[in-house]
Structure 1
Amino acid sequence: MNKTRIWHGGDLDEARRLFPEAPEPWIDLSTGINPIPYPVPPLPPSSFERLPSPSAHRDLEAAAAEAYGARDAATVVAAPGTQVLISLLPVLRPRSQVAILGPTYAEHAHAWRSAGHAVSEVSSLDRADRADVVVLVNPNNPDGRCIQREALLELAGRLQRNGGWLVVDEAFADFDADETLVPVLPHNTVILRSFGKTYGLAGLRLGFAIAMEPIGMRLKTALGPWAVSGPAIEVGRQALRDHGWREAARLSRATDASRLDALLEPVSDRPIQGTSLYRLMESQRGPALFSHLGERGIWVRRFQHSPSLLRFGLPSGEGSWLRLGEALAAFKRTWSAR
Structure 2
Amino acid sequence: MDPDSIRTAERVPHGGETDRDLLDFSANTNPRTPEGVADVYANALEESRRYPDDDYPDYRAAAAAFVGCEPARVIPTPGGLAAIRLAMEVTLKPGDEALLPYPSFGEYAREIELQGATPRFVRYDELCEIGPTVLEASALAVICTPNNPTGDAIDSDALAAFAARCADAGTTLFVDEAFLGFTDRSSAAELERENVIVARSLTKLFGLPGLRAGFAVASGEQRDALATARRTWSLGTPAARVGAHCLRRDEFVRDTRERVASERERMREALERRFDVHESDAPYLLCDVGDRDVSTVIDDARADGVAIRDATTFRGLDSHIRVAVKDRAANDRLLAALGVDNREADDREID
Tell me, yes or no, whether TM beats 0.5: yes
What is the 5 A alignment of 1:133-212? 133-178=140-185, 180-212=187-219
More displaced stretch, 245-254 vs 73-82:
245-254
List per-residue Cα deviations over 1:179-238 (Å, max 9, x = no partner).
531222211100111100100111110011010022122222222321111111111111
Aligned letter for 2:101?
L
Paired with 1:260 and 1:47, the residues of 2 have a C-alpha distance of 43
Do 2:153 and 2:281's aligned partners in 1 also have CA atoms closer than 8 Å? no
Tell me by how many angstroms 1:263 deviates.
3.0
Secondary structure, counterpart of 1:196 in structure 2: coil
State which of 319, 326, 331 in structure 2 corresponds to 1:308.
319
List per-residue Cα deviations over 1:62-101 (Å, max 9, x = no partner).
101101112x111111111111121222221334221002
Structure 2 partner of 1:239: 246
Aligned letter for 1:277?
P
List per-residue Cα deviations over 1:240-283 (Å, max 9, x = no partner).
11211111121122222123223311111x24333341111112
Do 2:9 and 2:114's aligned partners in 1 also have CA atoms closer than 8 Å? no
Structure 1 partner of 2:59: 60
Paired with 2:54 and 2:186, the residues of 1 have a C-alpha distance of 32
State which of 39, 64, 86 in structure 2 corresponds to 1:88.
86
Tell me by how many angstroms 1:48 deviates.
2.2
Aligned letter for 2:86?
L
Structure 2 partner of 1:27: 23
Tell me by how many angstroms 1:115 deviates.
0.6
Do 1:272 and 1:280's aligned partners in 2 also have CA atoms closer than 8 Å? yes
Do 1:196 and 1:207's aligned partners in 2 also have CA atoms closer than 8 Å? yes
More displaced stretch, 216-225 vs 137-146:
216-225
Structure 1 partner of 2:285: 279
Paired with 1:51 and 1:180, the residues of 2 have a C-alpha distance of 31
Do 2:146 and 2:282's aligned partners in 1 also have CA atoms closer than 8 Å? no
Structure 2 residues not aligned, in runs of 5+: 343-351
Paired with 1:312 and 1:253, the residues of 2 have a C-alpha distance of 13
CA, structure 1 residues 177+321, in 2 after alignment: closer, same or farther (shift >3 Å)? closer
Tell me by how many angstroms 1:331 deviates.
9.6
Do 2:180 and 2:282's aligned partners in 1 also have CA atoms closer than 8 Å? no
Paired with 1:150 and 1:249, the residues of 2 have a C-alpha distance of 25
Aligned letter for 1:208?
F
Do 1:172 and 1:275's aligned partners in 2 also have CA atoms closer than 8 Å? no
Do 1:148 and 1:179's aligned partners in 2 also have CA atoms closer than 8 Å? no
Paired with 1:272 and 1:157, the residues of 2 have a C-alpha distance of 29
Secondary structure, counterpart of 1:190 in structure 2: strand
Tell me by how many angstroms 1:30 deviates.
0.2
Structure 2 partner of 1:104: 104
Paired with 2:75 and 2:24, the residues of 1 have a C-alpha distance of 31
Q: What TM-score, normalized to structure 1?
A: 0.87
Aligned letter for 2:121?
E
Tell me by how many angstroms 1:317 deviates.
6.1
Paired with 2:263 and 2:66, the residues of 1 have a C-alpha distance of 23
Q: What TM-score, normalized to structure 2?
A: 0.84
Query: How large is the Cα RMSD of the aligned pairs?
Result: 2.2
Paired with 1:92 and 1:274, the residues of 2 have a C-alpha distance of 32
Do 1:265 and 1:272's aligned partners in 2 also have CA atoms closer than 8 Å? no
Do 2:34 and 2:249's aligned partners in 1 also have CA atoms closer than 8 Å? no
Aligned residue pairs, count = 318
Structure 2 partner of 1:258: 265
What is the 5 A alignment of 1:121-136? 121-123=121-123, 124-125=126-127, 126-127=129-130, 128-129=134-135, 130-136=137-143
Paired with 1:135 and 1:315, the residues of 2 have a C-alpha distance of 28
List per-residue Cα deviations over 1:118-171 (Å, max 9, x = no partner).
211111223453422110101100111222222222222222234320000011
Do 1:82 and 1:206's aligned partners in 2 also have CA atoms closer than 8 Å? yes
Tell me by how many angstroms 1:316 deviates.
4.6
CA, structure 1 residues 266+4, in 2 after alignment: closer, same or farther (shift >3 Å)? farther
Secondary structure, counterpart of 1:203 in structure 2: coil
Paired with 2:110 and 2:341, the residues of 1 have a C-alpha distance of 36
Confirm whether residue 289 of structure 1 aligns to residue 287 of structure 2. Answer: no
State which of 298, 323, 326 in structure 1 corresponds to 2:333.
323
What percent identity do the matched residue pairs reach?
28
Secondary structure, counterpart of 1:323 in structure 2: helix
